[in-house]
Amino acid sequence: MSNKTKNNPESLRLTPPERRRFRRRILSWYEREKRELPWRGEKDPYRVWVSEAMLQQTRAGTVRLRYPAFIERFPTLAALADAPLDAVLAEWQGLGYYGRARNLHRAARQVVNQEGSAMPETRDALLALPGVGPYMAGAVASIAFGERCAAIDGNVLRVMSRILNLSLPVDTPPAQKTIREEAQALVPRTRPGDFNQALMDLGASICLPRNPDCAQCPVRVLCAGYVSGTQNALPVKTAKKPPEPYTLFQFRAERNGLVLLAQREKTGLFGGMWELPGFMVAGHHEKVDSRRLKAQCARLLGPGWRPGRELTRTMRTLTHRKILFVVHLAENFEKASPQADLNGLLWASEEDFRTLAVSTAQRAAWNAAKSALRNLEGKKNGR
């Protein structure tokens, strides 16, 4: 291998002969060992784009289950653009990070309105779409259009940090510049899409975050981390900030077997999703001031409604937030009707809840509250 100095990112490069060997080895391995995934082999840029949007921040095993149903519901770019956002969010359930679905929908409408349903064909043009970053643009451009460009996801970042034996934190600009430039230099003129997918598969199956299976790696002899024995210490990352704590107080109001739901604003956390009406405060709270709880209940549900007993509390950790969901029963002391059908409120049946766009976190809170209510009813009936 060429002489490399770990503390000088500009020296961390493979030589041209090493790059040629790297390409041959990893493409040969990919032909034998590539993962069988429902979107593999697709050249339809729309379907490649959908799969890559799903794969951002979601495990391939989960995407494998959700991708076919999404494509069946929205088989073309035009079908996605024509669909209401609620339908798209509902079909996205189980994948998390719903901002991706909103961006996918916005981008589909933008393409249909501006390009006549023809997907942009270059990395640079794809970057102009909502929600499309460097990784997704590179993946779609290389796989669907054969453009020679890198696609650097978390797997590829890890692989490249070990190949280059990069001691700098991979989330710093100097390290990312080094990885980006070397990854781009490695992409072959032919089969760029296969090459990028091979790197992703290598990171997903062999070059794992912990205990990489170097004995099975087709490019280990070209890996400076493996040669120097530092692969288990890589990649280096700066310490992450802990997720910020929040408490979401919610109210479960029932009438004739229906439960009142509220739709969140279209943007922001859980944007456009349905949930039990509630309000969020910073920090984790065992209790909130009773006057505030009463005022919020009346504001959200209407006069005559008051918070009853606490039903349940569940904790969910998102990327940057750790949210405590606290659900109270809402009691109607004045027999007043809630402000249903106003301000995004809806009386929903159990079947409605299954088909509406509801986050996984909210589904867990709903189920926990429902179970708590059943237990209360059982105690009242002496069961």
Annotated catalytic residues are 52
Beta strand spans in 124-263 (E) = 244-252, 254-255, 258-263
- Do 101 and 67 contact (CB within 8 A), yes or no? no
- Dihedral sign, CA of 70, 76, 80, 82? negative
Distance between CA atoms of residues 56 and 80, nearest Å:
19
Residue 357 contacts by C-beta under 8 Å, 6 or more apart in sequence? 86, 88, 89, 90, 92, 93, 98, 272, 273, 274
| Among 283, 279, 281, 284, residue whose Cα is nearest residue 328 | 279
CA distance 104 to 110: 10
Q: Which two tokens stand for residue 357?
A: 């766009």
* AA identity, residue 172: T
Tell me the C-alpha to C-alpha distance, in Å, between residue 289 and each of 36, 112, 148, 307.
54, 50, 59, 12
The residues, ordered by sequence, that sit 6+ positions from 331 with a Cβ below 8 Å of its Cβ are 305, 306, 307, 308
Task: Strands of 124-196 (E only): list them.
Answer: none
Which H helix or E strand runs over 305?
A: strand 305-317
- Angle between helix axes 192-205 and 134-145 (nearest 10 degrees) is 130
Q: Max alpha carbon distance in the chain (Å)?
A: 81
Structure tokens at 294: 């009463």
Per-position b or e across 249-261, b if 16+ CB within 10 A of its CB: bbbbbeeeebbbb
Q: What is the CA radius of gyration of the chain?
A: 25
Find out whether the peptide bond into 235 is cis, omega within 30 degrees of 0: yes
